[in-house]
Amino acid sequence: MMASHSDATDSYLIRPNPDDPRLSAAVAGTDQSGRPVDLSVVIERPLTIFLNGQEIVTAMTIGDYPAELAVGYLRNQNMLRADDVITQIDHDADVDVVVVRTERETDFEDKLKKRTHTSGCAQGTVFGDLMEAVEDIVLPPAELRTSWLRRLTHAINTTPSLYLRAGAIHGCVLAAGARPLIYTEDVGRHNAIDKIAGFMFLKDITAADKIMYTTGRLTSEMVIKTAQMGIPILISRSGFTSWGVALARQTGLTLIGRARGKRFIVLAGGDRLVDDVTDAEVMEASDDDDG
Protein backbone atom coordinates (compact mmCIF):
# COMPACT_ATOMS: atom_id res chain seq x y z
CA MET A 1 0.00 0.00 0.00
CA MET A 2 1.62 3.26 -1.12
CA ALA A 3 1.74 6.17 1.34
CA SER A 4 -0.75 8.87 0.43
CA HIS A 5 0.44 12.30 -0.69
CA SER A 6 -0.73 13.88 2.58
CA ASP A 7 1.05 11.17 4.60
CA ALA A 8 4.29 11.89 2.74
CA THR A 9 4.19 15.66 3.22
CA ASP A 10 3.05 15.40 6.86
CA SER A 11 6.24 13.52 7.81
CA TYR A 12 8.63 16.26 6.69
CA LEU A 13 10.58 18.43 9.10
CA ILE A 14 11.89 20.40 6.10
CA ARG A 15 10.58 20.14 2.56
CA PRO A 16 10.85 22.19 -0.64
CA ASN A 17 8.83 25.36 -1.05
CA PRO A 18 8.50 25.80 -4.81
CA ASP A 19 6.22 28.83 -4.29
CA ASP A 20 9.00 30.84 -2.59
CA PRO A 21 9.58 33.77 -5.00
CA ARG A 22 13.24 34.00 -3.90
CA LEU A 23 14.06 30.60 -5.40
CA SER A 24 12.83 30.84 -9.00
CA ALA A 25 11.82 33.44 -11.56
CA ALA A 26 9.90 33.53 -14.84
CA VAL A 27 12.14 34.26 -17.82
CA ALA A 28 10.77 35.11 -21.25
CA GLY A 29 11.93 33.10 -24.24
CA THR A 30 10.76 31.35 -27.38
CA ASP A 31 10.08 27.71 -28.14
CA GLN A 32 11.16 25.64 -31.16
CA SER A 33 8.41 27.23 -33.25
CA GLY A 34 9.33 30.78 -32.31
CA ARG A 35 6.33 31.20 -30.03
CA PRO A 36 6.87 33.29 -26.86
CA VAL A 37 7.07 31.33 -23.61
CA ASP A 38 7.67 32.15 -19.95
CA LEU A 39 9.92 29.57 -18.30
CA SER A 40 10.47 29.14 -14.57
CA VAL A 41 14.21 29.06 -13.86
CA VAL A 42 16.13 28.53 -10.63
CA ILE A 43 17.82 31.58 -9.08
CA GLU A 44 21.37 30.98 -7.89
CA ARG A 45 23.46 33.32 -5.76
CA PRO A 46 26.84 33.22 -4.01
CA LEU A 47 27.11 32.47 -0.29
CA THR A 48 30.45 32.99 1.44
CA ILE A 49 31.03 30.85 4.53
CA PHE A 50 33.27 31.99 7.39
CA LEU A 51 34.40 29.89 10.33
CA ASN A 52 35.15 32.28 13.18
CA GLY A 53 37.41 34.86 11.50
CA GLN A 54 38.48 32.79 8.49
CA GLU A 55 36.83 32.82 5.06
CA ILE A 56 36.44 29.19 3.99
CA VAL A 57 34.57 29.01 0.70
CA THR A 58 32.05 30.72 -1.55
CA ALA A 59 29.31 28.38 -2.73
CA MET A 60 26.75 28.95 -5.46
CA THR A 61 23.38 28.15 -3.94
CA ILE A 62 19.66 28.88 -4.23
CA GLY A 63 19.93 30.69 -0.90
CA ASP A 64 17.49 28.86 1.36
CA TYR A 65 18.67 27.48 4.74
CA PRO A 66 22.01 29.38 4.69
CA ALA A 67 22.83 28.55 8.32
CA GLU A 68 22.21 24.82 7.80
CA LEU A 69 24.27 24.87 4.60
CA ALA A 70 27.20 26.58 6.31
CA VAL A 71 27.19 24.30 9.35
CA GLY A 72 26.73 21.17 7.25
CA TYR A 73 29.53 22.17 4.89
CA LEU A 74 31.93 22.76 7.77
CA ARG A 75 30.88 19.55 9.48
CA ASN A 76 31.27 17.47 6.33
CA GLN A 77 34.74 18.93 5.80
CA ASN A 78 35.74 17.96 9.37
CA MET A 79 36.28 21.64 10.17
CA LEU A 80 33.62 21.26 12.84
CA ARG A 81 33.93 18.29 15.17
CA ALA A 82 30.97 16.35 16.51
CA ASP A 83 31.52 17.79 19.99
CA ASP A 84 32.00 21.40 18.89
CA VAL A 85 29.70 23.97 20.46
CA ILE A 86 28.41 26.62 18.07
CA THR A 87 28.03 29.89 19.97
CA GLN A 88 26.60 32.02 17.15
CA ILE A 89 25.57 31.93 13.50
CA ASP A 90 25.27 35.26 11.69
CA HIS A 91 23.72 35.51 8.23
CA ASP A 92 23.92 38.82 6.37
CA ALA A 93 21.61 38.51 3.38
CA ASP A 94 22.71 41.89 1.99
CA VAL A 95 26.27 40.68 1.37
CA ASP A 96 25.50 36.92 1.16
CA VAL A 97 27.73 35.89 4.06
CA VAL A 98 27.31 33.35 6.86
CA VAL A 99 29.68 33.41 9.86
CA VAL A 100 29.75 30.36 12.15
CA ARG A 101 31.36 30.98 15.54
CA THR A 102 32.48 28.19 17.88
CA GLU A 103 33.45 27.88 21.51
CA ARG A 104 36.61 25.95 20.61
CA GLU A 105 39.37 27.59 18.60
CA THR A 106 39.28 25.74 15.28
CA ASP A 107 42.35 24.55 13.37
CA PHE A 108 41.36 24.36 9.73
CA GLU A 109 44.44 25.91 8.11
CA ASP A 110 46.03 22.56 7.20
CA LYS A 111 42.78 21.38 5.65
CA LEU A 112 42.58 24.48 3.45
CA LYS A 113 46.03 23.73 2.03
CA LYS A 114 44.91 20.40 0.61
CA ARG A 115 41.85 20.33 -1.58
CA THR A 116 40.35 18.00 -4.16
CA HIS A 117 37.84 19.31 -6.71
CA THR A 118 35.09 16.73 -7.08
CA SER A 119 32.78 15.80 -9.92
CA GLY A 120 29.93 17.66 -8.20
CA CYS A 121 28.33 20.49 -10.12
CA ALA A 122 28.88 24.03 -8.81
CA GLN A 123 32.55 23.22 -8.15
CA GLY A 124 32.32 20.71 -5.34
CA THR A 125 35.44 20.62 -3.20
CA VAL A 126 36.72 18.25 -0.53
CA PHE A 127 39.27 19.77 1.85
CA GLY A 128 41.92 18.25 4.09
CA ASP A 129 42.17 14.60 4.98
CA LEU A 130 38.66 13.38 4.14
CA MET A 131 39.96 10.96 1.53
CA GLU A 132 42.10 9.29 4.18
CA ALA A 133 39.39 9.54 6.86
CA VAL A 134 37.19 6.96 5.12
CA GLU A 135 39.56 4.26 6.42
CA ASP A 136 38.38 4.98 9.97
CA ILE A 137 34.64 4.98 9.23
CA VAL A 138 32.62 2.16 10.78
CA LEU A 139 28.96 2.30 9.79
CA PRO A 140 26.29 0.80 12.04
CA PRO A 141 24.19 -2.26 11.24
CA ALA A 142 20.88 -1.40 9.58
CA GLU A 143 18.26 -2.78 7.24
CA LEU A 144 16.49 -1.52 4.16
CA ARG A 145 13.19 -3.19 3.36
CA THR A 146 12.19 -3.23 -0.30
CA SER A 147 8.72 -2.03 0.70
CA TRP A 148 10.32 1.04 2.29
CA LEU A 149 12.26 1.72 -0.87
CA ARG A 150 9.14 1.67 -3.06
CA ARG A 151 7.11 3.82 -0.67
CA LEU A 152 9.95 6.27 -0.13
CA THR A 153 10.64 6.87 -3.82
CA HIS A 154 6.90 7.29 -4.44
CA ALA A 155 6.59 9.84 -1.62
CA ILE A 156 9.60 11.83 -2.86
CA ASN A 157 8.49 11.79 -6.49
CA THR A 158 5.05 13.13 -5.57
CA THR A 159 6.23 15.87 -3.21
CA PRO A 160 5.95 19.38 -4.72
CA SER A 161 9.46 20.60 -5.40
CA LEU A 162 11.53 23.16 -7.22
CA TYR A 163 12.76 20.33 -9.44
CA LEU A 164 9.23 19.64 -10.66
CA ARG A 165 8.62 23.35 -11.24
CA ALA A 166 11.89 24.50 -12.79
CA GLY A 167 14.32 21.57 -13.11
CA ALA A 168 18.07 22.29 -13.17
CA ILE A 169 18.38 21.35 -9.51
CA HIS A 170 19.33 18.42 -7.28
CA GLY A 171 17.54 17.08 -4.22
CA CYS A 172 18.57 15.09 -1.16
CA VAL A 173 16.22 13.46 1.33
CA LEU A 174 16.91 12.09 4.81
CA ALA A 175 14.46 9.31 5.66
CA ALA A 176 13.60 7.01 8.53
CA GLY A 177 12.34 3.79 7.01
CA ALA A 178 9.74 4.77 4.41
CA ARG A 179 9.18 8.23 5.95
CA PRO A 180 10.96 11.20 4.35
CA LEU A 181 12.05 13.66 7.05
CA ILE A 182 14.24 16.34 5.48
CA TYR A 183 14.06 17.22 1.76
CA THR A 184 16.51 19.88 0.54
CA GLU A 185 17.29 21.11 -2.97
CA ASP A 186 20.12 23.10 -4.51
CA VAL A 187 22.02 23.66 -7.74
CA GLY A 188 24.70 21.29 -6.44
CA ARG A 189 23.89 17.96 -4.83
CA HIS A 190 26.76 18.55 -2.37
CA ASN A 191 24.95 21.69 -1.16
CA ALA A 192 21.72 19.74 -0.70
CA ILE A 193 23.39 17.06 1.43
CA ASP A 194 25.30 19.71 3.43
CA LYS A 195 22.00 21.37 4.35
CA ILE A 196 20.81 18.05 5.75
CA ALA A 197 24.07 17.58 7.65
CA GLY A 198 23.71 21.04 9.14
CA PHE A 199 20.12 20.46 10.21
CA MET A 200 21.09 17.14 11.80
CA PHE A 201 23.99 18.76 13.68
CA LEU A 202 21.94 21.71 14.93
CA LYS A 203 18.95 19.56 15.95
CA ASP A 204 21.04 16.62 17.23
CA ILE A 205 19.37 14.09 14.92
CA THR A 206 20.86 10.59 15.04
CA ALA A 207 22.17 9.06 11.83
CA ALA A 208 22.48 5.33 12.54
CA ASP A 209 18.88 4.46 11.64
CA LYS A 210 18.54 6.84 8.70
CA ILE A 211 18.59 6.55 4.91
CA MET A 212 19.94 9.15 2.47
CA TYR A 213 18.30 9.56 -0.93
CA THR A 214 19.66 11.76 -3.71
CA THR A 215 18.46 12.61 -7.19
CA GLY A 216 22.05 12.95 -8.42
CA ARG A 217 24.85 10.58 -9.33
CA LEU A 218 26.42 8.33 -6.70
CA THR A 219 29.88 9.88 -6.82
CA SER A 220 32.84 9.62 -4.47
CA GLU A 221 31.84 12.90 -2.81
CA MET A 222 28.29 11.77 -2.08
CA VAL A 223 29.55 8.47 -0.67
CA ILE A 224 32.19 10.17 1.50
CA LYS A 225 29.75 12.72 2.89
CA THR A 226 27.03 10.14 3.60
CA ALA A 227 29.48 7.79 5.32
CA GLN A 228 31.09 10.70 7.18
CA MET A 229 27.63 11.60 8.53
CA GLY A 230 27.26 8.04 9.85
CA ILE A 231 24.32 7.18 7.59
CA PRO A 232 24.56 3.52 6.48
CA ILE A 233 22.37 3.58 3.34
CA LEU A 234 22.55 5.79 0.23
CA ILE A 235 19.99 5.58 -2.59
CA SER A 236 19.70 7.41 -5.91
CA ARG A 237 17.44 7.35 -8.92
CA SER A 238 20.58 8.08 -10.95
CA GLY A 239 23.69 5.99 -11.65
CA PHE A 240 27.09 5.28 -10.15
CA THR A 241 30.74 6.23 -10.58
CA SER A 242 33.42 3.58 -10.12
CA TRP A 243 35.13 5.47 -7.31
CA GLY A 244 31.81 5.97 -5.57
CA VAL A 245 31.23 2.21 -5.66
CA ALA A 246 34.76 1.44 -4.45
CA LEU A 247 34.45 3.83 -1.50
CA ALA A 248 31.02 2.45 -0.58
CA ARG A 249 32.45 -1.06 -0.47
CA GLN A 250 35.43 0.16 1.54
CA THR A 251 33.28 1.94 4.15
CA GLY A 252 30.52 -0.69 4.29
CA LEU A 253 27.89 1.69 2.91
CA THR A 254 24.83 0.21 1.22
CA LEU A 255 24.74 1.79 -2.25
CA ILE A 256 21.60 1.55 -4.40
CA GLY A 257 21.16 3.29 -7.74
CA ARG A 258 18.68 3.53 -10.61
CA ALA A 259 15.88 3.31 -8.04
CA ARG A 260 12.70 3.86 -10.03
CA GLY A 261 9.43 2.31 -9.02
CA LYS A 262 10.02 -1.35 -8.22
CA ARG A 263 13.40 -1.45 -9.98
CA PHE A 264 16.82 -0.74 -8.48
CA ILE A 265 20.45 -1.92 -8.58
CA VAL A 266 22.63 -2.67 -5.52
CA LEU A 267 26.40 -2.37 -5.98
CA ALA A 268 27.53 -2.36 -2.33
CA GLY A 269 26.21 -3.45 1.06
CA GLY A 270 23.48 -5.72 -0.27
CA ASP A 271 23.42 -7.65 3.00
CA ARG A 272 21.29 -4.88 4.54
CA LEU A 273 18.51 -5.39 1.99
CA VAL A 274 15.39 -7.26 3.15
CA ASP A 275 12.91 -8.26 0.44
CA ASP A 276 9.47 -7.99 2.00
CA VAL A 277 7.44 -7.08 -1.09
CA THR A 278 4.81 -9.71 -1.90
CA ASP A 279 4.08 -11.01 -5.39
CA ALA A 280 0.70 -9.27 -5.25
CA GLU A 281 2.38 -5.93 -4.48
CA VAL A 282 4.79 -6.43 -7.36
CA MET A 283 1.88 -7.04 -9.73
CA GLU A 284 0.09 -4.00 -8.35
CA ALA A 285 3.12 -1.73 -8.79
CA SER A 286 2.82 0.70 -11.67
CA ASP A 287 5.48 2.28 -13.81
CA ASP A 288 3.92 5.57 -12.72
CA ASP A 289 6.20 5.27 -9.69
CA ASP A 290 9.13 6.10 -11.98
CA GLY A 291 8.36 9.81 -11.48
- Residue-wise pLDDT for 147-178, tens only, equals 999 999 999 999 999 999 888 899 999 999 99
Share of the chain above pLDDT 70, in %: 84
Q: How far apart are CA 239 and CA 217, in angstroms?
A: 5
pLDDT bucket at 282, cuts 50 / 70 / 90: low
Count other C-beta atoms under 10 Å from residue 17's C-beta: 13
Architecture of domain 5-19+138-290: 3-Layer(aba) Sandwich (3.40)
Q: Which is more confidently placed, 136 or 206?
A: 206
pLDDT tens digit sequence for 120-136? 444 455 545 666 678 88
Q: What is the pLDDT of residue 113?
A: 58
- The whole-number pLDDT of residue 89 equals 98
Q: Tell me where in the chain the CATH 3.40.140.10 domain(s) lie.
A: 5-19+138-290
* E strands, 106-159, in order: 115-117, 125-127, 144-145
Q: Summarize the confidence of residues 26-47 as an average pLDDT.
A: 96
Q: Look at domain 45-129 and name its CATH class.
A: alpha beta
Span 43-50, average pLDDT: 96
Taking 50 as the threshold, does the pLDDT of residue 2 lie above it?
Answer: no
Q: What are the Cα distances from residue 271, in Å, to 98, 153, 180, 222, 278?
A: 41, 21, 23, 21, 19
Residues of the chain with CATH 3.10.20.10: 45-129
Return d(Cα 162, Cα 18) in angstroms, integer. Answer: 5
pLDDT value of residue 289 = 46
Cβ atoms of 2 and 149 within 8 Å: the answer is no
- Indicate the average pLDDT of the chain: 88
Q: Which residue has the higher pLDDT, 266 or 118?
A: 266
